[in-house]
Structure formats: structure tokens, C-alpha cells
A and B are shown apart, each in its own frame.
Chain A
């Protein structure tokens, strides 16, 4: 434990970093640019190098109390100031506050003739003076390679640039050197990357299918781990924001709280409780299967609980969604008026994919919803590739999870394609996947829904039919036929058949019950008769017994009289009575 800490500390000491303050970049680079060392920022024309440099200085001056110097070899100071203003930076104020020094270096080749040995002391003196004036800790050279076009002797220039970089390192200035990249196989036009061995960042501005996307990649960062992916970034009125693909890692809390889907029987399919709070749910299906309706139910239920919902409609206008949902008995308008539900509708075609991501981020950060609906994510594929959408969604899902926001993403599956395969790329990001499908049987098209997966909870494996009624989505009973789930008319006829069977059974039971009753009556009647007969018999027997008893007594009496009269031996008589029994044995 202590050894680990010891081991870690020197590494952080050997490579101190200077925070750029550029949103997301510090996360990719693990803290910023190498402090006191030069960093090369290379990119094609219009890739945002100058703005990168400007923001690096402005953030340094305003957020980290590190004044900066901007040496511009291309743009004039008024141009720079104006460009910076478009990012919301007031350079004039920073210059007046002596937190920033701007210098424009310009010479025209046509005026120059070489007459002997020279060096770039003029430039050095200007830089040294500027650094001293504001006490700079940071410096940007944008784009020093422009000198190659202006100075006649590249040999001298290279030597001098090397000397300049050595000087900057010696002065421990955190330096950003921008360079133009005109060919994909080279970082810089004149190979100055050989002087900058610490950190190289490449900016890229691609236009594909008329949609522009900006990207940033840390090509090299000596002595430091860094993200190696290409990260899309944006330049807008708040500066540059790089959105790292998974900057947040996988350490978000997992809530055990469940939220209702707004559809009772759907809750029932998921352990009776609905989705996990903060989970991401994919609703996929072909067109017209009711994806938006399911989402609307969820939104409606959340708003009823007083939770805030953010709805990104990429296909329909908010009014259209509200109107359509009203037709199934969900009125979203009161929630909009109450401020619980906010719609953001835009076709993602404008601005490209990271624009969408950034706008989404911004709205979520400002509205603080507990539920977010993105309807549909498929539209993003129109402006980007599957990979980009996947990476964008990963980042969005991560972001939402850290905020414990439950998110529903609807996804349109192309008809004819395999329902499950086409979404496989994004589905792994999702915790719960509801698949909506149309079942076509017997000239009908019926809607059905099933839970394809739902992490961490029991869930039904049944395909359930549902109908969209005036009163919302209603899940129907399950009827399994010989070929699977029965839907529509087939279900209705099955329902009828089942009803008939039940009636028949009931009738049959009734008959049996009556039969039994009758039997019982017969039995009881018989019992009564038998008892009566028995009683009669018993009476007769009793009578005969008592009669014979009487008779016997009379006989004894008679005999006694006779004995007494004859004076016979009574014991002899008794003996005669016992012998026959003995003989029998």
C-alpha cells in the first residue's frame, strides 16, 4: 500500500501537467499538456489550431492564473481578437489586465534579400520581452512554420527554431506550437515535429456527405498515458469541447430503485416493478410498432410522479408528438406547460454527430431531468456511421448513468432486416431492451412486445400482444396457438373457442353435479327403505325373542311344578341338558 503510493508519487512529479481548461481534453490527457514543455498541435486548414491555442491561453490566464503570450505568424491581432470573441473570449480585456500578450509576426518574402549570416534574435527578443511583460507561463506559436515561406534559408531557420524550443524549455514555458498538416502521412509541412518530442495532438476537420466533423487525437504523449482514440470535438460560443468516449469510466452508481414504465402489465413483465432508475432502455422495432407510444407512457407516468423529462425528438416536431399521443389518450401538453416536460426537436442532419451530443449534454445539464428520451437514435445514423453513433451513445449513456437519469432510446429497425442483429451494436450498451414487432398473420398486422433482455431483474420471456386504444396502450392476454403467439383475429377466435370450451365444461359439470345429486337422493331413499325394513324385521325378531322367552319360562314353571309334584332329582335334569353340547365337540 505505502509502496504503491511511493511508486506513484515520483511519476506525477516527473511529469507535471498544465491543465488546458479545454472541456474534455484534460480527461483524455490525464491532466493537461506537459508542463513547461512544448506540445505540437497539428492539423489541416481550418481544423481549429488557432482557437485551440487561444483557448489554452485564455483558460490559463483566467482559470489557472498563468499568463500567456500568443505569437501569431499568420493572423493579425484584430483578426485574432475577433475570432476569439466568437468563442466568448475577450482578448482586449486580458491584454489590458496584463494576463495576455499578443504579437503578430509578419514579413513579406518579396521584400527580403539575404546578404550574409543572420539569426532570429529579432524574434527571440520579441518573445522574451513579451514573456517578461506579463510574466507568462504559457506561450503559443501559431504557426511558426509560416516563417519557412518568408525566410530564404531553411537551414538557418531550422537551427533557429531548435534553438527557440530549447530556450522555451529552459524557461519552463508550457508551449503550444501549431503546425499545418497538408498531407496525411506527415504531421507538419516542414518536419518541425522532430523538435517537439513530448506531446503531439492532431486536429482534423473532415467533411463527409456534406457534414463536417472535427476530431482530436493525442498521437504521442511521452511519459504519460493518454486516450488514443479520435475524439470528436466542437467549437462553439463557449470554446472547444472535446467529448471523450468514456472519460467517466465505469464507476457509476447502480440504483436499486425501480420506476414504473407507465404500463401496468409491462411492469408485470419486469418483475412487477418496471425499469431500474438510471438504466438505459432500448425500444426497437420496425416502423409503426408503437415505440413512441411506449416512450410516451413512460414520460407520462414520470410526469405524474412529478419528475422532469427531456424528450429529444429527432423525427417529429413536439406538436406532432403531443398530437399523436393524444390520440392514444396520453395528454403531454399539461406537463409541457407545467415545465416538467421539455421537448427538443431537431433533425440531426445539421451539424453532425458531436453537435448532437454536445447539444444533448447541454440541455441535460441545464434541465436536470430524471428521464431522457431520444427518439429515435436511428436518425443519427443518417449523419454518421454506426461506429460514431455507437461511441456517441456510449458517452451519452455513461453521462446519463453518472447522473442517474433513466434514458429511453428508440430505434427504428429496417423492415425485412433481422430485428435483433441490426441493433446488436448499440444494444450491448443498454440495460433493458424491449423489442416491438409487428406480427403478420392471416392478413393482419398486430403489434407485439417482448423483453429481449433486462439486466439484473427477473423478466417475462413471453411475447405479448398489445393494442393502442383511445385509452392508451393495453397489453392483452397471451394466447398461444400451435404456431406461437396468437394475435388479432386469430387471438379473438381462440378467445371465443376458449370461451366455448369453458361453457361446455361448465354445462358438463352441472350435469354431473345433478347426476350426483340424483344418485344421492336414490341412495338416501334406499337407505330409508332399508332402515324401515330392518326396523320391521327387528321388531318381529324382538317379538319372537320375547315370545320364546316367555314360552321357555312357562315351560320351566310347568316343569318345576311337575318336579315338585313328582319330587324328581333336579340335578339329573341339568346333566341331561349339558351332555349334548359336550358330544358335539
Chain B
């Protein structure tokens, strides 16, 4: 499995999804690769917080197996339209399935982990 430590990358480039990832939806297995997109608005407090928070989560829980892209819609309103962004910040978990949106500055780490299927509700 190809490991990626890249935290940001340009939009448009898509990683091919391997069949193994598709077969285990909702898994918090250590094997699965995460594709995350964080939509922010410039350098507002919420956006800055969200970037810090997601980076922290990724480092702690998804070390080496995530692909995070941070998109500033302030300059690219079309991207917001394409992804149906209403609330900011919004984190979209493209992979693993199912697709999930987390809105807010990601400061409630428990909720973030639930949302990313990295923690099972007790």
C-alpha cells in the first residue's frame, strides 16, 4: 500500500480506489485509506481552527494513510457550488464510504472521530 504523508495537494487529482477499500465501508480498520476534503473560508477563526484540528486528527489517527485537501472557497466559489458547500468549515470524507460531511470547526474531537468512523460509539 502506497503511503502518503502529503497533507495538501492540488484539487482535481484523484487517487484510484482499490477494491479492497470499497468492500469495507464504515470500517475504522487501520488498513483503510482516507480521502478528506476540508472547505474553508480564508483565514477566519473557525477555518483556522478547523485546519489545525483536522491536521491533528490526521496525524494522530490516520498517520500515513490519508489524503487531505484544504480548499479555500473564498476564491473558488464554483468549488463550493460543485460540492454543495453551505456551512463553513465543512469536512467531506470521500473515502472510505459512506460519504460524510462534518460541519463546524472540528473542535469536538469525539464527534470528529465518530464521523470519520475512527471510533465506535460506546
Contact = CB atoms under 8 A, between A and B. Distances in A.
Given A125-B41, A125-B80, A126-B77, A115 B105 contact: yes
B44 interface: yes
Interface residues of A, number: 26
Interface string B75-86: 001101100111
A116 B115 CA distance: 12
Given A106-B84, A107-B84, A118-B88, A113 B77 contact: no
Contact of A126 (B81, B89, B98, B105): B81
Contact of B87 (A103, A119, A129, A130): A119
A152 B104 CA distance: 11
For this complex, into which size category does the number of interface residues on chain B fall?
35 or more
Interface of B: 39, 41, 44, 46, 49-50, 53, 73-74, 77-78, 80-81, 84-91, 98-108, 111-112, 114-115
Interface in A420-460: none
A114 interface: yes
Interface residues of B: mostly helix, strand, loop or mixed? Answer: mixed
B89 A118 contact: yes
A128 interface: yes
B23 to A, nearest CB: 21
A120 B104 CA distance: 10
A319 to B, nearest CB: 59
Contacts of B100: 111-113
Contacts of B80: 122, 125-126
A194 interface: no
A380 to B, nearest CB: 49
Nearest to A119: B88
A122 B101 contact: no
Contact of A113 (B39, B102, B105): B102
A116 B105 contact: yes
Interface string A141-152: 000000100111
Contacts of A150: 86
Contacts of B115: 113, 115
Contacts of B114: 113
B73 A117 contact: no
Contacts of B49: 116-117
A105 interface: yes
Contacts of B46: 116-119
A116 B101 contact: no
Contacts of B73: 121-122, 125
Interface string A89-127: 000000000000001011100011111111111110110
